[in-house]
Amino acid sequence: MPAEPTPAAAALAAAHARWQAAARERAGADPTPVRTASGIDVAPCYSPLDRAGADYLRDLGFPGAAPFTRGLRASGYRGRPWTIRQYAGYGTAEETNRRFRFLAGSGQRGLSMAFDLPTQMGLDSDDPRARGEVGQVGVAIDTVDDLAACFADLPLDAVSTSMTINAPAPVLVAMYVVAAEEQGVPGARLMGTAQNDILKEYVARGTFIHPPRASLRLAADLIVWCTAETPRFNPISLSGYHIREAGSTAVQEMAFALANALAYLEAVTARGVAIDAFAPRLSWIFNTHNHFFEEVAKFRALRRIWARILRERFQARDPRSLMLRTHTQTGGSTLTAQQPENNIVRAAYQALAAVLGGVQSLALSCYDEALSLPTEQAQRIAVRTQQILWEETGVADTVDPLGGSYYVETLTDQLEAGALGLLAEVEAQGGAVACIESGWMQHAIQDEAYRAELALADGRRRVVGVNVATEGEAPPPPLFRPEPKLEVEQLARLADARRRRDPAPVGRALAALEAAARDPGRNVLPPIVDAVRARATLGEVCGVLRRVLGEYRPPTGL
């Protein structure tokens, strides 16, 4: 028989019933439901009754201890702030180097590198398919010398660099390693991250080259190689960010990113690599959108889910393997071209939600990014916003300051349950790769994006400056566009690189790469490094892989 409630519990339940009756009377007979962006019902008030059955040590624990709900470090941000890591890069290597040094001079401690579309697709700048796109949305990288020039006067043993690159990630990491070696920095001392999360490209961004299973092989090759050769480098940044940017809910962002992560874990452990040998170097990137409390709770729930999956399913024993270390960027898709100055406010409170959620590094989508690449002024405002959070608001004074909030803890539980339920659906259909190949995951995100657009169009989703408070539109701010001459300069640079190199070692290295790619049991990273060192271009290396592994064409309707 259930135990009789204590007098205190009975008094609480009675008081709660009285409050509910009063709230119903004031709200009327048919109050409008309130929901988070993921469709989770929000009660008008939360109390200890919403936390019945909770176990503090099991579900929360203290900061720095599993399941890490309250954060990865025992002292939180008190002794060490999050890393400011604004996303930057455009035009040529020299232009990008200038922007990197500008950000470093503004107080940024980490670099985050944007690549142009040809680079993301493994194409050289002189490929006909690259015309008009060279250097437009990121820096153009054709050879290891281009990458090295991005870091002129920035010592690679003292800089942590995040590279948002996926399909050609093995090639860009090889270039980074060779550039560091030629700077006198061994791979063992390199710090940084390659995104290398190719599976989310099929559902969110579209910068894939090969079929999903061949791409998974390359991603696993990079993780295995980095585990041995660059032990301080994060070989993958598992991404919920782009899933959310494609239109998903927070629950879908969590579940689909976790499903993709499981595919990588299984692929690497199938190679005989112990989970604790590589899991501590896995990193993440997530989005931060507008529903403040849902975003705070999301990061808390993600840490708890990951710790339990690694410990219970993969038998990880190293506490570092259980830690979900994440970068976050504020929501680019939440920015509006209308009244763009409003985006400064949006990014600030999204950043605050990320910090209260306990992230390790942070970038703000700049206020003018709905219109153009960010100007230096916009980048400086983004850096200063983070510095204001750190220096002036007190958010770092105590660890997990929203921990114990009845609402936040309940929302954390609900997001965890929703994500685990959706993750179970993915696994029931054969896992992430199977759901990508069938189009199920893509359609789920597309359906949610369509619902959100309908809600905006009919006014159920209200956005200031778009369908609320639309009066008083100001002239657009100054916009930044890469100069057309930068493409001409990059083409000349590439032509000169081809003239100066010795073609014989390039040919031998590419032949060795082709042989390795044709053998599923071999890792392609060693021959890629050799090819890069010989000055093979990005397009030449990726061309070999295209020839062997094929190119992917999505099913009709995706």
pLDDT in tens, 159-218: 899 999 999 999 999 999 999 999 999 999 999 999 999 999 999 999 999 999 999 999
At 306, list the tokens.
Answer: 């990951």
Angle at CA of residue 292, ends 291 and 296, nearest 5°: 120
Give the CATH number for residue 395. 3.20.20.240
Residue 521 falls inside a structural domain: no
pLDDT of residue 9: 84
Beta-carbon contacts of 59 under 8 Å, excluding residues fewer than 6 positions away, are: 67, 69, 304, 413
Distances 482 to 91, 140, 487 between C-alpha atoms, Å: 6, 12, 9
Please state the pTM of the whole predicted model: 0.95
Residue 278 falls inside a structural domain: yes
pLDDT of residue 279: 98
503: Cα within 13 Å, side-chain hemisphere: 2
Q: How far apart are CA 52 and CA 5, in angstroms?
A: 12
Angle at CA of residue 374, ends 368 and 378, nearest 5°: 70
Residue 439 falls inside a structural domain: yes
Beta-carbon contacts of 215 under 8 Å, excluding residues fewer than 6 positions away, are: 167, 198, 199, 201, 208, 209, 552
| 136 close to 482: Cβ distance less than 8 angstroms | yes
- How do residues 399-449 score in pLDDT, each as one tens digit? 999 999 999 999 999 999 999 999 999 999 999 999 999 999 999 999 999
Q: How far apart are CA 193 and CA 372, in angstroms?
A: 26
Residue 466 falls inside a structural domain: no
pLDDT of residue 28: 61
Domain count, the chain: 1
Distances 321 to 81, 230, 256, 313 between C-alpha atoms, Å: 22, 17, 20, 12
Residue 219 falls inside a structural domain: yes
Residue ranges making up the domain that contains 430: 56-457
Residue 179 falls inside a structural domain: yes
If DSSP codes are grouped into helix, strand and coil, which group holds residue 191? strand
pLDDT of residue 31: 63
The residue ranges of the chain whose pLDDT is under 50 are none
Q: How far apart are CA 6 and CA 18, in angstroms?
A: 19
Burial class (CB in 10 A: 0-12, 13-18, 19+), 553: exposed
CA–centroid distance for 274 within its chain: 25
Locate tokens 């469709």: which residue? 39
Q: How far apart are CA 437 and CA 416, in angstroms?
A: 26
pLDDT of residue 476: 81
Residue 40 falls inside a structural domain: no
Element (H, E) at 245: helix 241-245
- Neighbouring CB atoms inside 10 A of 107's CB total 13
Residue 281 falls inside a structural domain: yes
